[in-house]
Amino acid sequence: MFPLRRNRRLRTNEAIRSLVRETIISPNDFLVPLFVVEGKGIKEEIASMPNYFRFSLDLLEKEVKELWKLGLKSVLLFVKVPDNLKDNKGTEALNPNGLMQRAIKTVKNACPDMLVMTDVALDPYSSYGHDGIIENGIIVNDATVDLLAEMSVSHAKAGANFVAPSDMMDGRIVTIREALEQGGFTDTGIMSYSAKYASSFYGPFRDALDSAPVDMINIPKDKKTYQMDYANRFEAIRETEMDIDEGADIVMVKPGLCYLDIVRDIKNVVNVPVAVYQVSGEYAMLKAAAEKGWIDHDAVMLEQVTAIKRAGADLIASYFAKEIVKLIS
């Protein structure tokens, strides 16, 4: 007997395919990372991230208005800190009039309903390019955590809706949560980079912020004592469950494409929203291959984010957000 079921019936034409499609991409899926610099009238392209820019505050204002019009309602802010303001303890991170604090206000003034998430980490402020304070060649955990909590309160004071600690120190979520509560910021959320791997896909981002670990004696060359070993799977679940217990509202897996097994593992066991960060190296690879004419940029871009969502992402931080939304609207 020839099979009664022919699976190709559901693929006959676009109408039936769209009717039974399981994963649909929309502007609601995205969190837009934005890089901010000091100055005026600056929109500078990042060399290793074609068509992606650092904005000074005046042009940041223009950019977020454009994003809002496109239906993109959430941004994730990162700042490029001038070298002369960097030190081991990230002193500048707590400046109430620092670049991050002003950037938050700028976005909120331009687009009051835009959801503002902020990067909470030491590396852009660290003279050594690390996410922690260094003592005797060691990244010290607890002193760093206290600083991250203060930083979070400072961002909340400036108007951030969510803080997003991207450092991978132990115990930072509970410490940040307590500090926010004590400061009266009960509505400020935490998106935890809970399963963040020590990945080589972050290179272009470190170019964008000039935040790569420095090459100096007694300074760790990489972030492997705090970010996760990419060979590990169960550890990701452990990290994520701990962050939820500590008070994380949203958890994250980072990077994206190479880690979709982890995304699915986590999605299957947690009941909070799962974010995925499609990181700078993923962006750069597609741009480079497309530039060579070796790959269809738009088709691959859409396939990649759909795969991330299919794997279990409830939201995606992506440098492609604007291009995707333009493509699908």
List residues with catalytic annotation: 196, 254
Report the nearest approach of ligand PBG to the CB of residue 59 (Å). Answer: 21
Q: Is 239 known to sit in a ligand binding site?
A: yes
Report the nearest approach of ligand PBG to the CB of residue 308 (Å). Answer: 14
Among 144, 154, 280, 304, binds ligand PBG (CB under 6 A): 280
| Residue with smaller CB distance to ligand PBG, 107 or 228 | 228
Report the nearest approach of ligand PBG to the CB of residue 95 (Å). Answer: 18
Among 107, 121, 228, 308, binds ligand PBG (CB under 6 A): 121
Among 63, 123, 239, 243, binds ligand PBG (CB under 6 A): 123
Report the nearest approach of ligand PBG to the CB of residue 255 (Å). Answer: 7
Among 30, 205, 259, 320, binds ligand PBG (CB under 6 A): 205
Among 149, 160, 244, 279, binds ligand PBG (CB under 6 A): 279
In this structure, are residues 249 and 314 in contact, taking their beta carbons and an 8 Å threshold? no
By CB under 6 A, how many residues form the interface with ligand PBG?
12
* Residue 131 touching ligand PBG (CB under 6 A): yes
Q: Contacts with ligand PBG in 160-179 (CB under 6 A)? A: 166-167
- Residues near ligand PBG (CB under 6 A) are 119, 121, 123, 131, 166-167, 202, 205-206, 223, 279-280
